[in-house]
Structure 1
């Protein structure tokens, strides 16, 4: 485990589940962030969200992502379907992770060959679009051993879990604590605010913080306003906004 380089405090604003279907949720938030000034974002792009949003059939949305790249944002690969369509779970623990904890852990049960195939499909789509890609984030941050093995065979520079960024291919871990909400119901949103406020205090001196946003957060003013307010507060504290790639590059060079 490596500590961050100490080159100055930073933050990373990360938008999960990016697809044509979720863009209307994000659009007002992204506009508000753009009005704050230069705040680069990492967009976690799903090539065919839930088997109904193939990017190849959404040229207008692809052009939007290209404009975000020109602004200094980053696109990363976020699964391929963002849906767990694997075989029926075979154990109680697997059932909990794949049917109770989440239905979207696409890479939780894949073997090495299956994971490699989907990763290569995603990277091929990025290549056809001419989009640079350095990172992969598994849906729900769930990766099977086979997925980890597959990542070591590809020209990717990083992956991540809720509290760490991992440099590839050696999986060197860097502390990068993340804030995330569960916003599907009012009680979850209320609890998420309490937990994240506590985490912000706990990690006040952390070298970096990641804000991990999801489309459902944007559908409720309560959670959307929290993220805008938190981002503004962290910027006022002097934290520098960076993409994941830019942050990792500083660690590698330090």
Structure 2
């Protein structure tokens, strides 16, 4: 987001200095992007950072049902905007997200990551023909061209309460075990993770995943 660009660039520099490849950058189109902000995005892309679509506003318009409220309380807070929409609304949002990159002459993204990895009331096969090839789910990466899901464990560090710290640590342990067969996992970094309750865990993983 425009408001997090400074922290994103800081993390990108830290990863580069640690010998890591440029991370995928998740872009929220529906925020107030100035021409200067867009130029910063273009410079990041030119430096090797692939861009990905990431919802539209990154916040919900309301809670549809009890399941959505529980998801928000445990995982997504007010970020899981797909969960506020029906199937047609989700597909329209993804198309709108993809068109935004073309309209601003940004590099075409191949990947779409729904906020909080909550895809909402759509099936994987609904995602064909929306302008993205890859779609991230909690369970892995869906290839819409091949109609195939690649299982890929996800590790996260956005813990701003003790409850979320405990849940994320437990999830990270389970996903670490799940990833041992392939030696691969996704590390999800959020702009404030270095200031939150799993900062030491993040430091460990950045070191362990280094060259």
| Rounded Cα–Cα distance in structure 2 between residues aligned with 1:124 and 1:80 | 11
Structure 2: runs of 5+ lacking an equivalent: none
Structure 1: runs of 5+ lacking an equivalent: 1-18, 237-254
Please state if 1:119 is matched with 2:81: no
Deviations 1:122-145 (A, max 9, x none): 112100222211111111111233
- Give the structure 2 partner of residue 104 of structure 1: 79
| Rounded Cα–Cα distance in structure 2 between residues aligned with 1:123 and 1:195 | 31
Greater displacement, 196-205 / 30-39: 196-205
| Rounded Cα–Cα distance in structure 1 between residues aligned with 2:124 and 2:85 | 10
Q: Over the residues paired in the alignment, what is the CA RMSD in angstroms?
A: 2.7
Q: Whose RCO is larger (CA < 8 A, sep 6+)?
A: 1
Instruction: Compare the two structures and name the one with the higher strand fraction.
Output: 1
Deviations 1:193-220 (A, max 9, x none): 4653564355334242100112331323
Q: Kindly tell me: are residues 187 and 145 of structure 1, through their superposed partners in 2, closer, same or farther at Cα, counting changes over 3 Å?
A: closer
Secondary structure at the counterpart of residue 81 of structure 2: coil
Deviations 1:16-71 (A, max 9, x none): xxx111223334322211212351210111012xxxx322xx22222222122112
| Rounded Cα–Cα distance in structure 1 between residues aligned with 2:205 and 2:67 | 35
Greater displacement, 26-35 / 129-138: 26-35
Calculate the TM-score normalised by the size of structure 1.
0.70
Q: Kindly tell me: are residues 227 and 98 of structure 1, through their superposed partners in 2, closer, same or farther at Cα, counting changes over 3 Å?
A: closer
Alignment length, in residue pairs? 209
